[in-house]
Structure formats: structure tokens, C-alpha cells
Amino acid sequence: MKFFLVILFQFFDFFQPKKVSIQEVQNSVVKIEVNSFRYSYEKPWMQPNISREGGTGFIIELKGKKLILTNAHVVSNAFQIRVRRNDQREYFFAKVKYIAHDCDLALIDIDEKLNPREEFYKNSKSLEIGDVPKLNTPVIVIGYPIGGEKVSITQGIVSRIDMDTYSHSGVDSHLVIQVDAAINPGNSGGPAIQEGKVIGVAFQILRTGQNLGYLIPPPVIKKFLKDISLDNQYDGYIELGVLDQPLDNPMMKSFFNLPEEYKDYGVLVYDILPGSSADGYIEKGDILLEIENYKITDQREVFFNGEYRNYIEVIDNFEKGETIRVKVFRKNKILNLEFPAKITNVLDFQRKNYDKPPEYILYGGLLFQPLTSDLMSTYSSTWLSNNRSDILFFYYHAIQNKTNVGNKQLIIFTQLLVNSKNRYAKDYQHQILETINGIAVDNLSHMWKVLNQELQKNPRIEFRFKENKMPLIFNAEDLKKIHQEILSNYSIYKDHVLRNSYEN
């Protein structure tokens, strides 16, 4: 009988999932050292500074191939990456394969041109991505904090699961897991483990709290990996494109005369992002009632996965081209709408820029730059102190004012490199450029085209700025001479960097 029970227990044990030991997990965790460029938006013509930073990654498997998963911010702007597993002595050179700045994830691999790939992955174990953990459950975070050479393990509790803004892009919001485990610089990209599986990737900390950190949760990780596996490239998150406000005001509800079954539901749509999924289907003034058969409360929430969550989370894992189904209340009628999921670049100007030098035009000592997230970070305090809060208004309300839509860019005269002939232009700093010789400027590439065209055919160049009746005028030949003097005096070898050519 005893022998039979032993066999029976062994039989059931064979079919039970084997838990991965902490030692096995440790040997799948990777120390990452990165040499990267850091560009200056205050002096964009200068060569970038070089910095050396570190982070963490871990080995996963995608379509039968082992790769290293880490944060995008760990390897952004990198020109050299070195990696080493916990059980290895030597570093291996690596390269970025896929990067997603909108959800702060990246996949890197060993650079086979520089060292043997097989040697790095030899006897390694891929970690499995698990499911979203439950609140108040234990979690282990593994990484290489503050540049340490040895792996570090900290423990904590899952304290919150919610939507929040990812600081790497500065604009994109996705699901996050908050834990009270210590997460420090260098931990970024490391796995959070529960029952042998990865339930999050460490990526940012709450600076106002003590021992509070954030993890990128399994749905975001799996969406990133699925996106890549579909066509071997990362396309990004789709954008529903609805700008809304809650309908918790009883007077507003009574004004719209919602059906009885939706008396506690719905959000008012006040604008649509151009080129987004909703563009051409949902209209301003619609009451958005349901999405994918989930009723939307008057607080923008749906009962999703056993709790109330922001309704955007329902479509966060949609791939482009998939069908989105919504229900709206329009002109006293309930309408069922279907439309394809789309990716739009309309919010790109509010995303932080990585892996590319800043755009600018420097001519005659006048520095012009497009209004972007990085420029805001550089100059917002200066603009406020110089009574240019209007620039902040145009930035934050660009969609509603249609100032940064399509190929439009707001261009700011940010700085003057002074010589004896252009010093009077200093009074025009921190103003928004509107026209050159009466020609409305659409974006930086268009500005470069117009400026060179006018320098060739007109004897004078007249810059006009928004809400300034006084133009800034140069003799064209003098401006050309000033330009050459400035380039020589300041040792500037490149007077412009443009992202795209202008086409009208």
C-alpha cells in the first residue's frame, strides 16, 4: 500500500508545473552596461555628451529564439551595450533588436559580429511571463541596483494595480503594478517574480513615496511581444482617439436625456484625435456608452477582469486593423458602431525623443526649434519667467487648437548667438514664428525650404511672429554674411537637422 501511494504521488507530481528555483531565475537575469549619447536641446548643434549607465534584463523566448527583455529607457540612445549573466565572468556585446518607447520595453540580442551568440545563451533558461498578480501577494524583484556587480534580490507586496503615465515617453498611459519592494536605479528592466514566473518588469519609482516602485505588468509585456511576433517589427499601441469628460453631473445627464438603462453610464465626447481609430466614426457631442460590450460608467470606468478599470484598458491590447465595437448615444438614438483600430502620430510631439538628434535650424545666429516635449522640458521655466505662458497653452492644447496636427509644427525662436549685426534680434526670443516674407511656415522642414528660397530671390528677409506686430527684418546678403561669421566664430559644423523633407 505504501509503495502504491508513493507511485501515486509521483504520478500526480509529474503533471504538476515545476516551480523555477530562485537560483535558476538569478542565472537568467542579465546585467546590462550601456554607453549612450545625451543630446542638448539648449545647444543642439553641439556634439552629444557620452554617458555610461547600467540596468537589468532577463532571458525570454520569442518564436523559439532566446532574447533579452529590458526597459527601453535602459538602452535608448545607446551606441555600445554589454551584457553578462549572473553565472558568467565575461561581458558580451549586444545590440537592440526591437524597442517600444510608448511602453518602455526593448528586446536586445548578442551582436554576432562581435562575439559568439551561442556562448552567451549556453545552458540558460528562459523565464516565462505569468499573469497579473493579486493584490497583497508577495513578489521578488531581481536586478543590479546602483551599478552593483552582484545580483540583488528584494521582496515586497503588490499594493496597487491601475492605469498610469509611463515616464519614459511622458504621455502614454498603460496598466501598472505598484509594489513596496525597493526599486532603485539599475533595477530597471529586471524581473519581478511570483511562483517562478515573471509578473512584471521594474521600470520606475515613486519619488514621493518610500520603497514604492512600479512594474510593467504581463498584459503590456505580452502585447509588446505579440506585436513583434506578428510581422517582426514593433508597430505600437493603437489610439482610440476620444477626448471625453465624465457625465457625473446630474444636470448634464438630464439635459442629454439618456435612456433609463444608461442613467449611471456614459462619457461626453468633446473632441477626436485626427487620424485615430474613432476619427470619422465617433462624433463630437456623442455620449460613449459601451466599448466591446462593456458599459462605461460616468466616471470613465468599466467592470473589467473583476474590478472597475479605465475603459481605455479594454482596447489597450488591440492590434492595428482589428475591429473596435462601441455604442454611442447621438441625437436621442443609440447607435452601434464598428471601425478598425489605428495607430496615429498626432501625439508624437508630446512624446520624449530618443535615438535621434534634436531638430533645429540655426541661421544668422537665430536658433529655431519645433515645440516638442523635450523643448518644453528645456525651456518651460524660462518661458514662464518671461511671460510666455502662451507657449505652454499652445503645447497642452495643440489638439483642440489644431496647431500641431498633421504636418503642422509650432516653431519657436529659442536662442540668439550674438554678433555685432544681429544683436537687436534678441528682443524676439521665445516667440512663435508665423511667416517668412509673408509665407506661412508649416513646420521646420518647410521653414528651411522657404528660408533658402527667399534668400535666393529677395533682397530682404522678414520674420513675423505670433501676436507681435513688429517684424524682424534682415538684409538678405547681410544675413548670409552673419550666418557664415556665426558658424566660424562658434565652430558650428551643422546649421540644421531636419527629421523629414517637406512635401505639400
> What residues act catalytically?
73, 104, 188
CA 32, CA 49: separation in Å to the nearest integer? Answer: 20
Cell of 301: 470606468
CA 259, CA 264: separation in Å to the nearest integer? Answer: 10
Element (H, E) at 448: helix 444-457
CA 18, CA 158: separation in Å to the nearest integer? Answer: 23
502 and 443 Cβ atoms separated by less than 8 Å = yes
DSSP code for 145: G
Query: What are the C-alpha distances in Å from 157 to residues 57, 182, 207, 493?
Result: 21, 11, 18, 54
Helices and strands of the chain, counted as H and E runs: 11, 28
Cell of 294: 462593456
CA 391, CA 429: separation in Å to the nearest integer? Answer: 12
Other CB atoms within a 10 A radius of the CB of residue 364 amount to 25
Residue whose C-alpha cell reads 498603460 in the numeric block: 174
CA 308, CA 356: separation in Å to the nearest integer? Answer: 39
Q: What angle do CA 141, 147, 150 make, to 5 degrees?
A: 60
